[in-house]
């Protein structure tokens, strides 16, 4: 059986409340060895930590999601900083920027992102970056910071070959998920050009379920469908994709 690492899944979501035990069982049966869970804001912390206590293969991150950044974002950041100082986390995430849903707090999003990147460097943790409709802006922010020790993953990557090269040249990984399986997702022309050592796999469950489950609730067990599509685009075996991306994930999250 192939061994995979799920680098991004919100399995603490209330969409899994009724059957989380079955979801986890299907994940382990599908060959997943770990599931990394990105935080959203103060409301997601308890559920995430409860899952960690239930199964140590569910591994939490700590951060403030850009869609939770508003006029009171500094209160949320204070809580994130407090948690980061209390224990070790796999990563600082999910952080980043978002110009898809709401542009009202764009300045605050940028500030929150920079601050959390500084914490990641302080605690020697990778960052897990959300950048919906804001990939170039986010690349620019990282370039402006000029922090050589900053590392991490651009999650749910759907950009161009040029954007992929900029990101990997900065030392970051690309998180490939369900969009790779979409007929018009566009990644068929991009993935062949991405350095194998810079790819990690994810589902972003419960969102972005891969084909043929598109439109349904996503779950980590579906990640094998993503691995199969990456193997097809790379013209290598699924076993090779599993070995490469598992090694990359372990190196990233240490």
Give the pLDDT confidence of 156-179 residue by residue, as tens digits. Answer: 999 999 999 999 999 999 999 999
Q: What is the dihedral of CA 97, 100, 103, 107, to 10 degrees?
A: 10
Domains along the chain? 4-253 (3.20.20.140)
Give the pLDDT confidence of 87-113 residue by residue, as tens digits. Answer: 999 999 999 999 998 899 999 999 999
Q: What is the pTM of this model?
A: 0.97
In Å, what is the CA distance from 35 to each residue of 15, 71, 170, 175, 227? Answer: 17, 32, 25, 14, 15
Q: What is the dihedral of CA 47, 52, 55, 57, to 10 degrees?
A: 130
Rounded average pLDDT over 124-150: 97
Task: Write the DSSP assignment of 155-190 as a string of letters.
Answer: SS----HHHHHHHHHTT-EEEE-GGGGSTT-SGGGT
Give the pLDDT confidence of 39-71 residue by residue, as tens digits. Answer: 999 999 999 999 999 999 999 999 999 999 999
Cα 23 from chain centre: 19
Phi, psi of 97 (to 5 degrees): -140, 160
Cα 213 from chain centre: 20
Please check the confidence at residue 1 and state whether its pLDDT lies above 90.
no
Q: Distance between CA atoms of 33 and 3, rounded to whole angstroms?
A: 6
Contact 32, 5 (CB under 8 A): yes
Q: Which residues of 179-212 are buried (b: 16+ CB within 10 A; e: fewer)?
A: bbbbeebebeebbeebeeebbbbbbbbbebbbbe
> Helical H runs in the chain?
20-29, 45-54, 73-86, 106-122, 135-145, 161-169, 223-234, 238-253
């Amino acid at each position: 059986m192939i061994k995979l690492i799920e680098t991004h899944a919100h399995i603490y979501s209330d969409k899994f409340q009724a059957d989380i035990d079955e979801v986890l069982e299907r994940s382990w049966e599908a060959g997943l060895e770990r599931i990394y869970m990105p935080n959203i804001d103060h409301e997601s912390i308890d559920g995430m930590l409860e899952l960690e206590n239930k199964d140590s293969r569910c591994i939490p991150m700590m951060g403030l999601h850009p869609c939770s950044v508003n006029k009171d974002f500094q209160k949320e950041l204070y809580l994130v900083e407090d948690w980061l100082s209390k224990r070790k986390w796999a990563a600082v995430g999910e952080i980043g920027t978002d110009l898809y849903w709401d542009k009202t707090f764009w300045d605050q999003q940028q500030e929150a992102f920079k601050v959390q990147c500084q914490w990641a460097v302080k605690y020697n943790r990778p960052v897990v970056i959300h950048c919906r409709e804001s990939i170039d802006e986010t690349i620019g922010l990282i370039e402006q910071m000029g922090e050589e020790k900053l590392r991490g993953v651009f999650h749910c990557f759907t950009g161009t070959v040029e954007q992929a090269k900029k990101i990997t040249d900065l030392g970051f990984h690309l998180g490939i998920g369900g969009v790779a399986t979409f007929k018009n997702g566009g990644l068929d022309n991009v993935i062949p050009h991405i350095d194998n050592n810079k790819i990690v796999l994810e589902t972003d469950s419960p969102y972005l379920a891969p084909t043929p489950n598109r439109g349904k609730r996503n779950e980590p067990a579906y990640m094998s469908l993503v691995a199969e599509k990456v193997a097809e685009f790379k013209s290598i075996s699924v076993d090779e994709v599993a070995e490469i991306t598992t090694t990359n994930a372990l190196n990233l999250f240490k």
